[in-house]
Amino acid sequence: MADMSVTLCGLKLDNPVIPASGVFGYGAEFKDFYDINILGSFSFKGTTKEPRFGNPTPRIAECCCGMINSIGLQNPGIEAVISEELPNISTYFKKPVIANVGGYSVSEFVYCAEMLSEAPQVGIIEVNISCPNIHRGGANFASDPKSAAEVTAAVRKVSKKPIFIKLSPNVTSIADVARACEDAGADGLSLINTLLGMRIDIKRARPVIANKAGGFSGRAIFPVALRMVYDTAAAVKIPIMGMGGVATAKDVIEMMMAGATAVQIGAENLRNPFVCKEIIEELPSLMAELNIERLADIIGIAQ
Catalytic positions, written as ranges: 131
- Judged on CB neighbours under 10 Å (0-12, 13-18, 19+), 258 is buried
Pair 88, 121: CB distance under 8 Å:
no
Q: What is the dihedral of CA 94, 75, 266, 57, to 10 degrees?
A: 150
Under a CB-based contact definition with an 8 Å cutoff, are residues 171 and 177 in contact?
A: yes
Report d(CA 9, CA 159) in Å as an integer.
14
DSSP secondary structure, 207-247, as one string: ESSTTS-EEEESGGGHHHHHHHHHHHHHH-SS-EEE-SS--
Q: Residue 38 in contact with residue 280, Cβ under 8 Å?
A: yes
According to DSSP, residue 266 is labeled -
Single-letter residue type at 230: Y
**Residues in contact with 121: Cβ distance below 8 Å, sequence separation at least 6, in sequence order:** 86, 89, 90, 93, 96, 97
Q: What is the spatial distance between Cα 236 and Cα 230, in angstroms, rounded to a whole number?
A: 11
